Structures are given as structure tokens and as C-alpha cells.
Amino acid sequence: MLTIALQKTDDREIAKELVQSTFITFYKIKDTAHQINSLPAYLYTILKNRLLDHYRHALVHQKLQDMSQYRHEHDTANDVETYIDTREMERRLQEEIGKLPPQCQMVFRLRREEELSNKEIARRLSISENTVEQHMRKAIRLLRVAMNISKKALFTLL
């Protein structure tokens, strides 16, 4: 039996485990063993089933490894693609910010890049806080239209 298992698996340790499993299965049914017509045929059938189980398990394991490898490669490709898309979108956003009216652009840059509050921007530019808010609303509206993206997507990008 070991010879057959070894021929089918090409691995001595796996063959030994399969033969051992065969005899364990036979031992579990020892009480009904007297009903078996051909003991060698019965044992070979058990071994055949163990071999099939082994191959199924190996196939599933290989498929899981292949999927894992595919996901890893796909995720890496997506990461690169996402990075390139993000860089392109950031470049385009900077281009569109440069097209804003000068005062609107100044307020937007102070708010988003220097992270100043409306009050600090108003003080620095000698304008009212209300004017700062109006410039910010205008900048966001113009950028959304120019970039053709939602308000939420624009805030995520900024």
C-alpha cells in the first residue's frame, strides 16, 4: 500500500500519512469488518479515497495561493494606478486653482495650504470675515465645476 501511495504522491511522508489514515479508518469500522468480502480491495478503496481527498485539498490550497498572488499583484497594480490618478488629479487641481480670480485664489490658498482661519485671513488681507467666506464658497464652486467632481470628492482631494 505504501508503494502505491508513494507512486501517486511522490512524497514519502505524505504517502505514510495516507496509509496510516487508511488503517485508522479501517480500525474505526473493525466491528463490521467481518462483512467485508475482500480486505485488500476494501483497504485499496479507502486509500484511493484518501488520495483523492489529498489531491482535492492540494488543488484548493493551490487555488487559494493563486488567488492570493493575483490579489497581491492586482492590489499593487491598483495602488500604482490610484497613485498615478491621484497625482494627475492633484496636478489638475493646482492648475485650476491657478485660474481662480486673484483675490479668490489668495483666500483659498491661505485657507487650504497655510490652514489659516477665516479670521486670520481677514486680518491678513484687510477684508471682512464674510468676504473671506464668500471667496471660499466661490473658489469651491468654481473648482467643482472645473474638475467636474462632487463637493465631497473635492474636500477629500484637498
For the chain, which ranges sit under pLDDT 50?
Answer: none
- pLDDT score at 122: 93
Q: What does pTM read for this prediction?
A: 0.47
- pLDDT score at 136: 92
Domain boundaries, the chain: 1-27+37-98, 101-158
- pLDDT score at 110: 92
Distance CA(114)–CA(155), nearest Å, equals 16
Distance CA(70)–CA(64), nearest Å, equals 10
Distance CA(84)–CA(92), nearest Å, equals 12
Maximum separation of any 2 CA atoms in the chain, in Å = 104
Report the mean per-residue pLDDT for the chain: 85
- pLDDT score at 6: 81
Distance CA(140)–CA(157), nearest Å, equals 12
Distance CA(71)–CA(76), nearest Å, equals 8
Q: Is 149 left (phi over 0), alpha (psi -120 to 50) or beta?
A: beta
Class of domain 101-158: mainly alpha
- pLDDT score at 31: 85
